[in-house]
Amino acid sequence: MTGRTLGRALVGAAIAAAVLLPLAFQGTQPYYLQLAINVLISATLALSWDLLARTGQLSLAHAAFYGLGAYTSVLLTTRAGVPVLLGMAAGALVASAAAVLLGFLTLRLRGIYFAIATLAFSETLRVITNQLPFTGRATGLIAPALLGGQRAAQYLVILVILVVLVIVSGWINRSRWHFAFTAIRTNEEVAAVIGVDVVRFKVLAFAISACFAGVVGAYYAHVFLFISPLEVYSLAVSVGALVAPIFGGLYTTAGPLIGAVVLRAGEELLRSTVGGGYPIIYGFLLAVVILYMPRGLAGLWSAASARLFRRRPLREARAG
Amino acid sequence: MSLLALAGVTKAFGGLVAVSDLSLEVRPGEIFALIGPNGAGKSTTFNLISGLFAPDSGRIGFDGADVTAAPPAKRAHLGIGRTFQVMQPFHDMTVMENVLVGELFGHAVPKSMAAARSDAAEICALVGLAHLADRPATALGVADLKRLEIARALATHPRLLLLDEVMAGLTPTEARQAVTAIKAIRDRGTTVLLIDHVMSSVRDLAERVAVLNFGRKIAEGSFAEVAADPLVIEAYLGTESDDQVESDGDHGQH
Amino acid sequence: MVIFGVLRSGLYSLTSVGLALAVGVVGIVNFAHGEFLMLGAFLGYWLFFSYGLDPLAAIPIGAAVVFLLGAGVYRLGIQRVLRAPELNQMLLTFGISIFLQNLAIILWGGDPRVATVSYKASAVSLGALTVGVPQLVVFALAMALTLALYAVLGGTRIGKAMRAVAQNRLGASLLGIEVDRIYLLAFGLSTALAGTAGMMITLQLSVSPFIGLLYTLKAFAIIVIAGLGNINGVIYASLVLGLSEAFVEFYVPQGGGWAEGVFFFLILLVLLVRPRGLFR
């Protein structure tokens, strides 16, 4: 269908333009580049959280992996002279390892118990980091810059990270993993009885999700040059990571990205008007979505396009 | 040589003993029925066989191998399949996709996606769901949901199929169709172990029957033999009579 | 050290018993529980600041206001998700929590406020220890209210209706109990209890928009330790938390900071080892 391919090409071109635009403005309006970096960080966190959510594990520990990535990288680069990019890779590794641990620990926990346990894990890390002199306590740590502080180059780095994640997410959704994840999410016991290796998939999802959260955490550290427990282990990180996919459409690749972009834009707008209370939009949207549009934006789009184009909605994504 | 062998299996929850010192054998190629009043321990037995519960004591053997400690997925790969009494389709998927999960993951050696898809289509046609293949699983009625449960279990190509109260909620005509279908499944080479309350269907299907009461086996033999057993009659006295079609709201423990 | 732990557990009991009520009767794990506490605290502060009203005396007013707030939240939102998957409920209350917390930040700013009541600094000696009067009063009042709640649940018609609904929703409605009304009352009551605890906090500590989450999580820790839905075990679980925190504060070097994390640690421990709770 040429109509569809043309449509896809247009969307692709629009995205490419939007992505490259900030670079064009970097000389005159460096703010946009900064904003773009922030948006891409949020997008990566959102999509990586969604990966885990596909197995039915709605975690509140995303900040834990973000923070672990950040602290690992900063500690290695400042105390052991490790080059920044290697530090970032190490951050991803440590985050993944922690996720495997947490994954095994929480295997039998469901729903709210799981959420609380992950939250407890994240906050425990925050408290520990806050207390230990080794990690700089509440004062935090200063980090060396990535690629000499060149914003344009840094922007390309996060872009690459996000693209890799998008490819991974798309692949997962098109392969048999999609069925395993969905089966586990829908009904874990039945999935096991049918022969799905539930443990393997759940822990693997955790590891992959955390890997990206970790690398982004490290990235954040080396771009913004300063980290503290309150910032990187904060609940706001985990909340931002989960509201975006719920808002944009769970279990899809596009949903979390769209959600992240919209939310970040809204956040920037709000920050200028209400200052410290800007996360109020997250709370408000979360409540509204759960009450009135459980399928998020992607669900609305899919229902609308079904009516417009007489196509059946594809993957149906629902919160919960 | 038995296909499934339970030896001295016991399972208790807190203070309540659900299954007590249960021993039974299912021979290859037969249709074996497990019956008993509500709360007798039948569903618990199924959960023990399929691996959702671990026994407190006793052994479970399948085709010569000891599976007592094997996780559910492993048992599926070895050839134990089951349906669930309270129907549990994967509600975010279509009918075909539900069956596909079984094809993709139910075998020790994973199939290719293409092979899995075509085999899944075959099974859908076999149970009579081909025309509903692309509908969401949640759109199905009771009888079709049962077909889906069976199809999904068959997709794992089980050597032993555990059928958990398939007759509940079916009209007499549908029940007769189910009996024919189950016999056909057996004739294709799958051994069947079933739990049911609808006695007319049990009588038509089962070659051997075991009766559980309060977690213990109180009788075993042909349907005629156990039906005449005074212990069995006494166990059932006061509960619903035979041939009553149960509504599918039955969440009683077995 | 034991005294401090026990005293602290009084307030914890009051805070958590409300959440236990919401979980047990309505069946909703209210992530926003602490925000109602925070709102109660702000209300107490405001009443004290504007009218010189002692927070303790203002409790009936505060409780009533927060009750109405809670009932409103129930009608507007909670009611709709009671039949939805548990995760939707969790996310909704989570959203409400974030909303309320940031609303407070926007309205009142993020700085902590302190209400200096006349007897705030006064203390009493019990043997070798000096204990603050506010702490004692709060403890006594909190325990009294908690026990009063138990009495209500056990003795009154409404209380029994709540317990019936908690155990078996369908059965209770068949008995003619208006389940929805009970839900409304129970939820309102749970938030009112939180608000009351909040007003007591005004007396002792500073009030800021951020305290909500902290108390929500501590309340979680306590009801997880007691066992979700187990309202009776809350007092014992509160003692566990109170004593553990006091223990850490006293015997661990720089214990103050670590004590903040004790409840997380306890949550993890209980959930991983005995998810059903210690006091079933």
Contacts of A279 in chain C (CB under 8 A): 98, 101-102
C85 interfaces chain A, CB cutoff of 8 Å? yes
Residue B60: inside a domain: no
A183 interfaces chain B, CB cutoff of 8 Å? yes
Q: Is B246 left (phi over 0), alpha (psi -120 to 50) or beta?
A: beta
Contacts of C109 in chain A (CB under 8 A): 276
pLDDT of B250 reads 44
Contact A182 B90 (CB under 8 A): yes
Q: Is the distance from CB of C201 to CB of C207 less than 8 angstroms?
A: yes
pLDDT tops 60 at residue B245: no
Of B71, B81, B51, B49, nearest in space to B192 by CA:
B81
Of A171, A209, A217, nearest in space to A70 by CA:
A217
Of A35, A16, A18, A26, nearest in space to A266 by CA:
A35
pLDDT of A214 reads 95
Number of domains in chain B: 1
Residue A154: inside a domain: yes
pLDDT of B246 reads 44
What residue of C is the nearest CA neighbor of A285? C95
pLDDT one-digit tens code per residue, B111-136: 888 989 999 998 888 888 888 888 88
Task: Work out the percent of chain B whose per-residue pLDDT is above 90.
Answer: 32
The CA angle A45-A51-A56, to the nearest 5 degrees, is 120
ipTM: 0.83
Q: How many CB atoms are closer than 10 A to CB A197?
A: 20
Q: Is the distance from CB of A60 to CB of A122 less than 8 angstroms?
A: yes
Q: Give dist(CA A238, CA A242) in Å, integer.
A: 6
What residue of C is the nearest CA neighbor of A108? C272
Q: Is the distance from CB of A56 to CB of A122 less than 8 angstroms?
A: no
Q: Give dist(CA B25, CA A30) in Å, integer.
A: 76
Domain CATH number, residue B201 = 3.40.50.300
Residue B62: inside a domain: no
Q: Average of pLDDT values for B15-20?
A: 86
Residue A279 phi/psi, 5-degree rounding, is: -60, -5
Number of domains in chain A: 1
Contacts of B106 in chain A (CB under 8 A): 194-195
Residue C91: inside a domain: yes
Amino acid identity of residue B238, one-letter, is G
End-to-end CA distance of chain B: 28
Residue A274: inside a domain: no
Q: Band the pLDDT of A308: cuts 50, 70, 90.
A: low
pLDDT tops 80 at residue C135: no
pLDDT tops 80 at residue C85: no
Q: Give dist(CA B217, CA B21) in Å, integer.
A: 8
pLDDT tops 60 at residue B19: yes
Reported as type and span, the H/E element at residue A221 is helix A198-224
Strands B191-195 and B31-35, by their bridges, are parallel
Contacts of A194 in chain B (CB under 8 A): 73, 76, 101-102, 105-106, 152-153, 155-156
Q: Average of pLDDT values for B9-23?
A: 88
Residue A287 is nearest to which of C92, C220, C275, comparing CB atoms? C92
Which chains reach chain C with 3 or more Cβ–Cβ distances below 8 angstroms? A
Q: Give dist(CA A192, CA A175) in Å, integer.
A: 19
What's the pTM?
0.84
Residue B73: inside a domain: yes
Amino acid identity of residue C1, one-letter, is M
Q: Which DSSP letter does residue C74 get?
A: I
pLDDT tops 60 at residue A166: yes
Of A317, A186, A111, A120, nearest in space to C28 by CA:
A111
Q: Band the pLDDT of A1: cuts 50, 70, 90.
A: low
Q: Average of pLDDT values for C265-270?
A: 76
Q: Is the distance from CB of C43 to CB of C199 less than 8 angstroms?
A: yes
Q: Is the distance from CB of B21 to CB of B31 less than 8 angstroms?
A: no
B76 interfaces chain A, CB cutoff of 8 Å? yes
Residue B187: inside a domain: yes
> What is the rounded average pLDDT for all residues in chain C?
79
Of C16, C63, C5, C3, nearest in space to C217 by CA:
C16
pLDDT of A48 reads 95
Contacts of C268 in chain A (CB under 8 A): 117, 120-121, 124
pLDDT tops 70 at residue A296: no
Task: Work out the percent of chain A whose per-residue pLDDT is above 90.
Answer: 34
Q: Give dist(CA B169, CA B171) in Å, integer.
A: 7
C208 interfaces chain A, CB cutoff of 8 Å? no
Give me the count of residues in chain C.
Answer: 280
Contacts of B113 in chain A (CB under 8 A): 175-176
Residues contacting residue A315 through CB under 8 Å, at least 6 positions apart? A173, A251, A252
What residue of C is the nearest CA neighbor of A118? C268
pLDDT tops 90 at residue A81: no
Q: Average of pLDDT values for C75-81?
A: 83
Q: Is the distance from CB of A279 to CB of A236 less than 8 angstroms?
A: yes
Beta bridge partners of B61: B5, B66
pLDDT one-digit tens code per residue, C213-265: 888 888 888 888 887 767 778 888 888 888 888 777 777 766 666 666 777 77
Reported as type and span, the H/E element at residue C126 is strand C123-126
Of C106, C266, B253, B31, nearest in space to A124 by CA:
C266
Which chains reach chain B with 3 or more Cβ–Cβ distances below 8 angstroms? A
Q: Give dist(CA B146, CA C231) in Å, integer.
A: 41
Residue A246 is nearest to which of C77, C91, C110, comparing CB atoms? C91
Contacts of A124 in chain C (CB under 8 A): 261, 264-265, 268
Residue in the block written with tokens 């709770």: C277
Amino acid identity of residue B167, one-letter, is M
Contact A198 B73 (CB under 8 A): yes
pLDDT of B23 reads 92
Contact A192 B156 (CB under 8 A): no
Q: Give dist(CA A30, CA C55) in Å, integer.
A: 51
Q: Which of A165-179, A216-230, B239-253 has the lowest mean pLDDT?
A: B239-253
Contact A179 B77 (CB under 8 A): no
Secondary structure, 3-state, chain B: CCCEEEEEEEEEECCEEEEEEEEEEECCCCEEEEECCCCCCHHHHHHHHHCCCCCCEEEEEECCEECCCCCHHHHHHHCEEECCCCCCCCCCCEHHHHHHHHHHHCCCCCCCHHHHHHHHHHHHHHHCCHHHCCCEHHHCCHHHHHHHHHHHHHCCCCCEEEEECCCCCCCHHHHHHHHHHHHHHHHCCCEEEEECCCHHHHHHHCCEEEEEECCEEEEEECHHHHHHCHHHHHHHCCCCCCCCCCCCCCCCCC
Higher pLDDT among residues C233 and A302, named by residue: C233
Contact A113 C85 (CB under 8 A): no
pLDDT one-digit tens code per residue, A179-215: 999 999 888 889 999 989 999 999 999 999 999 999 9
DSSP string, A55-117: TT---S-HHHHHHHHHHHHHHHHHHS---HHHHHHHHHHHHHHHHHHHHHHTTT--HHHHHHH
Alpha helices in chain C (DSSP H): 2-21, 33-51, 59-73, 79-81, 86-108, 133-155, 157-167, 169-174, 179-204, 211-226, 234-251, 255-273
What residue of A is the nearest CA neighbor of C255? A131
pLDDT of A319 reads 43
- Which candidate in C33, C80, C87 is best for mutational testing of the A interface (most A CBs within 10 A)? C87
Q: Give dist(CA A130, CA C258) in Å, integer.
A: 9
Range of the domain at C81: 2-209
pLDDT of C119 reads 58
Tokens read off for C215? 């108390």
B51 interfaces chain A, CB cutoff of 8 Å? yes
pLDDT tops 70 at residue B32: yes
What residue of A is the nearest CA neighbor of C94? A283
Could you tell me the CA-to-CA distances from B145 to B52, B138, B192 in Å, in that order? 22, 9, 19
Of the ranges B154-158, C41-45, C174-178, which is most confident? B154-158
Residue A7: inside a domain: no
Of C138, C132, C149, C139, nearest in space to C189 by CA:
C149
Residue C197: inside a domain: yes
Cα-based torsion angle of the residue sequence A308, A310, A311, A312 in order, rounded to the nearest 10 degrees: 100
pLDDT tops 70 at residue B35: yes
Residue C170 phi/psi, 5-degree rounding, is: -65, -45
Q: Which DSSP letter does residue A144 get?
A: P
Residue in the block written with tokens 């896809």: A8
Higher pLDDT among residues A197 and A267, named by residue: A197
Q: Is the distance from CB of B179 to CB of B205 less than 8 angstroms?
A: yes
Task: Work out the percent of chain B whose per-residue pLDDT is above 70.
Answer: 93
Higher pLDDT among residues A310 and A206, named by residue: A206
> What is the rounded average pLDDT for all residues in chain A?
84
Residue in the block written with tokens 């549009």: A293
Residue in the block written with tokens 């129930």: C74
Contact B104 A180 (CB under 8 A): yes
Contacts of C260 in chain A (CB under 8 A): 127
How far, rounded to the nearest angstrom, does the alpha carbon of residue C9 sit from its chain's CA centroid?
A: 11
Q: Give dist(CA B221, CA B24) in Å, integer.
A: 11
Higher pLDDT among residues C280 and C67, named by residue: C67
Chain A, 213-272: which have a CB under 8 Å from a chain C CB?
A: 235, 239, 242-243, 246
pLDDT tops 60 at residue C96: yes
- Which candidate in B77, B97, B104 is best for mutational testing of the A interface (most A CBs within 10 A)? B104
Q: Is the distance from CB of A49 to CB of A209 less than 8 angstroms?
A: yes
Residue A190 is nearest to which of B88, B104, B107, comparing CB atoms? B88
The CA angle A151-A156-A162, to the nearest 5 degrees, is 125
Half-sphere exposure of A70 (CA within 13 A, CB side): 34
pLDDT of C254 reads 63
Contacts of A196 in chain B (CB under 8 A): 73, 101, 105
Which chains reach chain A with 3 or more Cβ–Cβ distances below 8 angstroms? B, C
DSSP string, A247-304: HH-TTSSHHHHHHHHHHHHHHHHHHHHHGGGTTHHHHHHHHHHHHH-TTHHHHHHHHH
Could you tell me the CA-to-CA distances from C12 to B151, C101, C132, C182 in Å, in that order? 53, 20, 17, 25
Higher pLDDT among residues B95 and B236, named by residue: B95
Residues contacting residue A58 through CB under 8 Å, at least 6 positions apart? A52, A114, A115, A242, C87, C91
pLDDT one-digit tens code per residue, B42-81: 989 999 999 999 999 999 999 888 999 899 999 999 999 9
Range of the domain at A113: 31-234
Residue A193 is nearest to which of B50, B90, B92, comparing CB atoms? B50
Higher pLDDT among residues C46 and C118, named by residue: C46
Strands B191-195 and B208-213, by their bridges, are unpaired
Residue A303: inside a domain: no
pLDDT of A46 reads 95
Count contacts between A and C (CB, < 8 Å). 128
Of C28, C133, C119, nearest in space to C70 by CA:
C28
Residue C58 phi/psi, 5-degree rounding, is: -80, 0
Higher pLDDT among residues A42 and A135, named by residue: A42
pLDDT of A140 reads 83
Contacts of A180 in chain B (CB under 8 A): 101, 104-105
Range of the domain at B175: 29-55+68-236
Q: How far does A188 lie from chain B, in Å, by closest CA?
A: 10
